[in-house]
Amino acid sequence: MNLVTGNILWTGINKIPNKYSYLSDDIDCEVLIVGGGITGAICAYYLTMAGIDTVIVDKNIIGYGSTSASTSILQYEIDTDLIQLKGILGLEKAVECFKLCEKAVYDIEEIVNNLGNECGFSLRDCFYYTDSNSDVTLLSKEYEIRKRKDFNVEFIDEKKGKNMFSFPIKAGIYSRSGAGEIDPYSFTHQLIDSSINNGLRVFENTEVVDIKQASNSVEIMTRNKFKVNAKKVVFATGFETKEMIENRTAILTRTFTLATKPVENFEGWHNRAIIRNTSDPYTYLRTTSDDRIIIGGEDLDLGGKYSKISNLTNSDTLSIDKFQILNNRLLNLFPKINNMEIEYRFSGLFGESQDGLPYVGEYEKYPNCYFCLGYGSNGILYAVIGAQLIRDLYFGNYSPILDLFKIDR
């Protein structure tokens, strides 16, 4: 499958800062992390900060998998609205999930401040809106429950919307906390650099092909027949872990993304807030620290492993059509922003769980293994939450939060 395809923003504007050797000997460690993307890097950061001897292996170049195609929109809002999640979990647990995501945004801010902000991080407001009269009541009810549960939100009606944005709005929820944006590739490498200072060992171009469990350890074999023996293994490979798990954990789609060259102004875009609409699939927009615009959406169901969508390239007619739709939509949304020129066009595979929540913790079929699978648009925030839970679990501290994210839920 083509995890990512096209001219990708983050690896286009960032050079590879560090190159890591492949594994060329048998080694031991306390925790092995399989997956060197942003989730693995966040896990390594928390584990090494706790003094745990940690190793990362990745079959590719560090950060060149799904991380490179992430739009990295950080927001407390989950793909499943609070009202919908309430119907699945009950109100208090649903609110807890939203609050955990809100906290994770500020956890990232704290990490970035500790590392030195060289990864384009900014806190942002976010705006969830509809241009359809049929969704106004839904958003009004969603607003009321968020407001009642102390989220910093304002209901935006059609009149207010005209003074804030240049596109038609029937109703929206404007949130003044719990959102941000970041360069995921740069952040991944900064996390790994910091973790190396705390003892992390990193091996790229090192593919895991076999796993053997013992009573108190796990042995993994690489394609080149070198072994890593670890007390625990963390799988941080996203939907690529899907085949290890018997139940249907992820709904896979391909999402399409455009990024402009830097623009001169953001007229018609209130506070450069992160934007998403109520459409299915929804359209999402953000800006970058160097004044680009990112727009994405037009998701397509993946189908089988060998389907056309699974192996789509930028030159396929379908991709070209999707990029054109997004380009036209961007121009219609912001007619007052001059000289918007698309520089990057790419697509990536995207996994989402049925309830919009991640899968974190242990799985009966794989003793001494942890999973940190941040399915959904909040993948980076889920990685932060998951890494903290896994760190605590390693020390024998089981959090009830894990019951919300368990794999066999």
Q: Which residues contact 20 (CB under 8 A, 6 or more apart)?
A: 62, 202, 203, 204
Q: Where in the chain is the domain with CATH 3.30.9.10?
A: 123-177+249-352
- 391 CA to centre of own chain: 20
Asked if the model's pLDDT at residue 250 lies above 80, the reply is no
pLDDT, greater one: 245 or 129 = 129
Q: Which residues contact 307 (CB under 8 A, 6 or more apart)?
A: none
pLDDT, greater one: 372 or 117 = 372
What pLDDT is recorded for position 391?
A: 98
Tokens at residue 328, please?
């036209």
pLDDT > 90 fraction of the chain, expressed in percent and rounded: 86
d(CA 15, CA 17): 6
What pLDDT is recorded for position 146?
A: 98
What pLDDT is recorded for position 238?
A: 84
What pLDDT is recorded for position 241?
A: 81
What pLDDT is recorded for position 209?
A: 95
What pLDDT is recorded for position 350?
A: 84
What pLDDT is recorded for position 396?
A: 96
- 364 CA to centre of own chain: 26
Mean pLDDT across the stretch 257-270?
97
Mean predicted lDDT score pLDDT of the chain: 95
Mean pLDDT across the stretch 5-16?
96
What pLDDT is recorded for position 269?
A: 98
Tokens at residue 197, please?
């200072």
What pLDDT is recorded for position 301?
A: 87
In CATH terms, the fold of domain 8-70+184-248+356-405 is FAD/NAD(P)-binding domain (3.50.50)
Tokens at residue 122, please?
């900014």
Q: Where in the chain is the domain with CATH 3.50.50.60?
A: 8-70+184-248+356-405
Mean pLDDT across the stretch 20-38?
97
What pLDDT is recorded for position 228?
A: 98
Mean pLDDT across the stretch 102-127?
96
Asked if the model's pLDDT at residue 293 lies above 80, the reply is yes
- pLDDT digits 0-9 by tens, 118-141: 899 999 999 999 999 999 999 999
pLDDT > 70 fraction of the chain, expressed in percent and rounded: 99
Contacts by 22-26, CB closer than 8 A, 24 or more apart = 22/203, 22/204, 22/205, 22/206, 22/224, 23/57, 23/203, 23/206, 23/222, 23/224, 23/226, 23/228, 24/224, 24/226, 25/226, 26/226, 26/227, 26/228, 26/229
Backbone angles phi, psi at 23, to 5 degrees: -70, 130
Q: Which residues contact 250 (CB under 8 A, 6 or more apart)?
A: 239, 242, 351, 352, 353, 373, 375
Helix (H, G, I), strand (E, B) or coil at 356: coil
Kindly state the DSSP code that residue 177 receives in the 8-state scheme. S
- pLDDT digits 0-9 by tens, 313-332: 989 999 999 999 999 999 99
Residues in the chain: 409
Asked if the model's pLDDT at residue 310 lies above 80, the reply is yes
d(CA 392, CA 403): 14
- pLDDT digits 0-9 by tens, 186-232: 999 999 999 999 999 999 999 999 999 988 999 999 999 999 999 99
The fourth-level CATH superfamily of domain 123-177+249-352 is: D-Amino Acid Oxidase, subunit A, domain 2 (3.30.9.10)
pTM of the predicted structure, to 2 decimals: 0.96
